[in-house]
């Protein structure tokens, strides 16, 4: 047990400060503070000694240097069981500081709301993290509190131990404190790396705030949690059970596709992180029906992501089949009421989610891979028409839509489409030929209403041989879009010309593993 006699308080977040001050007064704990915290403590009617008077040194550099003083840090860092440390304190007339309550300048908040670099830099806290690190290092003797939500735990600890804290409690708070300083430094490091366009620094820090512990991971025997950047998920759950690991995985997969579609247009249906139907028909109700028609069997128990606001007519359609999740960009009140009739249906509003260019991270064996995202919008300049037969503007537009969907399908990926909707998707096969066969089989099974437009297909990488494109053409495909780069590209072009097939090459490949 360590009796607390002297506490240093310096907090940006002054919420619930009165609660902990009352507790410190109960146990006759002397308080030292500075700046705005000092003023707030005095305003609340509690005794407090200002840091500048305690150290005998005035604040300088417009407040940049307040607590960076040996009297503060010696008081925090001294080992109480070392005679030399005790002698040093006595010699310099320094006191032990037993409790440090500090949280940092709101760097993250400023980062979200300000574009001014100088303002952001000025909100990098120096004194706060320095005191926290010192107290956390010396947890054998010093208690460190870094968040107002820990006040209640501290209060209970003080009551339980009559003004003292246990070693176990101090150890636990030390670990939390180092989490806070690490996260804080990672935010700064990430900001400065982004500012200097250093995408792959020699030391890479992955950071996040715990949003929620999940019931389990991909399988019940695995533990899982979800962490977020900026302390928010930017998704609002309007109904249904808690989301699982697999739910989140599917939601993010669906939203990557949805956010790549034209604004307020398009429906995506996802099952096991793979799309099983997508349509960008401008009629929102029709886009859902066309996406569902692509593979209604796989859609059962899947996720529907609507890149638009859901209205009553669509809600009535959505309730006809079993779905795990419906994602929307807002929902009308009468539509929400209809969907809520299915009490276990999770309804997610993704209106506030932006498709920002964040790194993709994958980890195994205590290593992790980092890459920039594959979410840039396509334009006609990204493609070359290499066949003798040329597509009209509408066909080229449809080919680009199909290719866009293809890059979000697990590789090897083949997508067959009619106009503005997918009609066959083959995914995740070691052989590109197998993916072609699956896409064709799906199309033949579910594609009933043939339009005047001839069907088209996309591949996420080049065809190494003519057998894959030949199967597609034999099934009725009239135009193909694929990346170039094979040593047999000329053979593929010659095959397209012999069969009167439109062939468009992409300048970039789009594997998704």
Residues labelled catalytic: 137, 272
Tell the residue number behind the tokens 């949690």, with chain if given. 225
- Residues 60 and 437: their CA atoms lie apart, in Å, by 74
| CA distance between the termini of the chain | 53
DSSP string covering 359-390: PEEEEETTEEEEE--S-PPP-GGGEEE-SSSP
Neighbour-count burial of 486, counting CB atoms closer than 10 A to its CB (0-12 exposed, 13-18 middle, 19+ buried): middle
* 488, two tokens: 């047999």
**What does DSSP assign to residue 240?**
S
* Residue 209 · residue 225 · CB < 8 Å: no
CA distance 221 to 219: 6
Residues 193, 187: Cα–Cα separation, whole Å: 10
Q: Which DSSP string corresponds to 302-339?
A: -EEEESS-B-HHHHHHHTTS--SEEEES-B-HHHHHHH
Is beta strand 49-50 parallel, antiparallel or unpaired with respect to 2-3? Answer: unpaired
Tell me the C-alpha distance between 396 and 333, whole Å. Answer: 39
508's tokens: 């970039």
Q: Is the four-CA dihedral 464, 470, 473, 474 of positive or negative sign?
A: negative
Contacts with 218 (C-beta within 8 Å, 6 or more apart), sequence order: 224, 245, 246, 249
Q: Which residues does residue 360 pair with via DSSP β-bridges, in sequence order?
A: 371
d(CA 405, CA 378): 11
Q: Are 452 and 428 in contact (CB under 8 A)?
A: no
Give Cβ neighbours of residue 346 (< 8 Å, ≥ 6 apart).
237, 239, 240, 241, 243, 247, 324, 325, 326
| Token pair 């009551």: residue | 159
Distance of alpha carbon 36 from alpha carbon 13, whole angstroms:
10
448 secondary structure, DSSP code: -
């Amino acid at each position: 047990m360590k009796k607390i006699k002297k506490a240093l308080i310096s907090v940006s977040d002054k919420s619930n400060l009165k609660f902990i001050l009352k507790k410190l007064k109960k146990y006759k704990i002397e308080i030292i503070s500075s700046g705005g915290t000092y003023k707030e403590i005095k305003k609340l009617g509690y005794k407090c000694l200002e840091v500048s008077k305690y150290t005998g040194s005035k604040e300088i550099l417009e407040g940049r240097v307040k607590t960076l003083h040996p009297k503060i840090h010696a008081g925090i860092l001294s080992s109480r069981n070392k005679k030399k440390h005790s002698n040093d304190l006595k010699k310099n007339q320094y006191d032990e500081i037993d409790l440090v309550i500090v949280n940092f300048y709101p760097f993250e908040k400023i980062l979200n709301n300000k574009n001014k670099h100088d303002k952001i830099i000025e909100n990098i806290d120096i004194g706060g993290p320095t005191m926290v690190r010192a107290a956390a290092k010396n947890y054998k003797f010093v208690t460190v509190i870094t968040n107002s939500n820990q006040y209640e735990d501290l209060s209970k600890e003080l009551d339980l131990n009559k003004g003292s804290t246990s070693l176990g409690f101090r150890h636990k708070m030390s670990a939390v404190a180092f989490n806070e300083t690490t996260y804080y430094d990672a935010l700064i490091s990430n900001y400065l790396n982004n500012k200097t366009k250093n995408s792959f620094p020699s030391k890479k820090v992955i950071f996040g705030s715990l949003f929620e512990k999940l019931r389990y991971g991909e399988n019940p025997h695995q533990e899982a949690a979800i962490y977020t950047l900026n302390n928010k998920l930017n998704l609002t759950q309007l109904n249904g059970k808690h989301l699982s690991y697999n739910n989140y995985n599917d939601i993010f997969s669906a939203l990557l596709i949805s956010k790549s579609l034209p604004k307020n247009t398009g429906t995506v249906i996802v099952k096991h992180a793979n799309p099983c139907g997508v349509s960008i028909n401008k009629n929102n109700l029709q886009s859902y029906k066309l996406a569902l028609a692509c593979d209604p069997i796989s859609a059962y128990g899947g996720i529907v992501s609507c890149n638009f606001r859901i209205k009553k007519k669509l809600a009535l359609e959505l309730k006809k089949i079993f779905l795990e999740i419906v994602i929307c960009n807002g929902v009308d009140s009468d539509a929400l009421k209809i969907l809520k009739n299915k009490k276990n249906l999770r309804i997610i509003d993704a209106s506030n989610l932006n498709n920002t260019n964040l790194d993709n991270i994958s980890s195994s064996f205590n290593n992790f891979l980092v890459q920039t995202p594959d979410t840039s919008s396509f334009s006609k300049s990204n493609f070359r028409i290499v066949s003798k037969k040329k597509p009209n503007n509408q066909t080229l537009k449809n080919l680009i839509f199909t290719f866009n969907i293809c890059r979000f399908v697990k590789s090897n990926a083949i997508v067959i489409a009619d106009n503005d909707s997918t009609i066959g998707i083959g995914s995740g096969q070691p052989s590109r030929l197998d993916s072609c066969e699956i896409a064709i089989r799906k199309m033949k099974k579910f594609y009933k209403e043939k339009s005047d437009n001839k069907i088209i297909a996309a591949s996420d990488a080049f065809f190494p041989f003519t057998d894959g494109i030949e199967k597609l053409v034999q099934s009725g495909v009239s135009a193909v879009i694929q990346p170039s780069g094979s040593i047999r590209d000329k053979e593929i072009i010659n095959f397209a010309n012999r069969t009167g097939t439109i062939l468009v090459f992409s300048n970039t490949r789009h594997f998704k593993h």
